[in-house]
Amino acid sequence: MLFEKQVILLDEEAADSQEAEAKLADRLYDEGLVTDAFKVAILKRESEFPTGLQTETIGVAIPHTDADKVVSPQIGFMRLKQPVMFHQMGDNAEIQVKLIFMLALKHSDDQLKMLQTLMALFQNQEAIDKLEKITTKTDFLKLMKEVNIDQ
């Protein structure tokens, strides 16, 4: 289960994308899911290969890094109280991001499959609307099961 440790942060505050990423990476580390090199690697990779995406109504980001920094596969999720600027994947334009899915996966094949699954989620406006409104970790986990992300 990719949300087993429930690294699910709702309505967090962050001054910028780096602070948001650092908070989520720290939580994954605190749960023993990633190595101490994970946070630095996430921040470096995001600065070089941005992962922000603009959906129909909201900006999302899917930061990730090399599998050798992962101890146990998980996905961290953060919904920000106020959006922060990320650079968009592909064209590097700045976008306001409110939802972050941080991938900590052990195999590059798993990472590719999850990126494809998340892309489908981001095109599901009903699911995105729910992500913006959920109030509990239980509701989040239920939604992830509904959209086939956490079996």
Which segments of 1-151 are extended strands (E)? 8-12, 52-54, 59-61, 74-87, 94-104
Q: Which residues pair with 93 in a beta bridge?
A: none
**What amino acid is encoded at 73 in this protein?**
P
Would you give per-residue pLDDT tens digits along the chain (151 residues)?
Answer: 788 878 999 999 999 999 999 999 999 999 999 999 999 999 999 999 999 999 989 999 999 998 999 999 999 999 999 999 999 998 889 999 999 999 999 887 888 888 888 999 999 999 999 999 999 999 999 999 998 886 5
The DSSP 8-state label assigned to residue 67 in this structure reads G
The model's pTM is 0.95
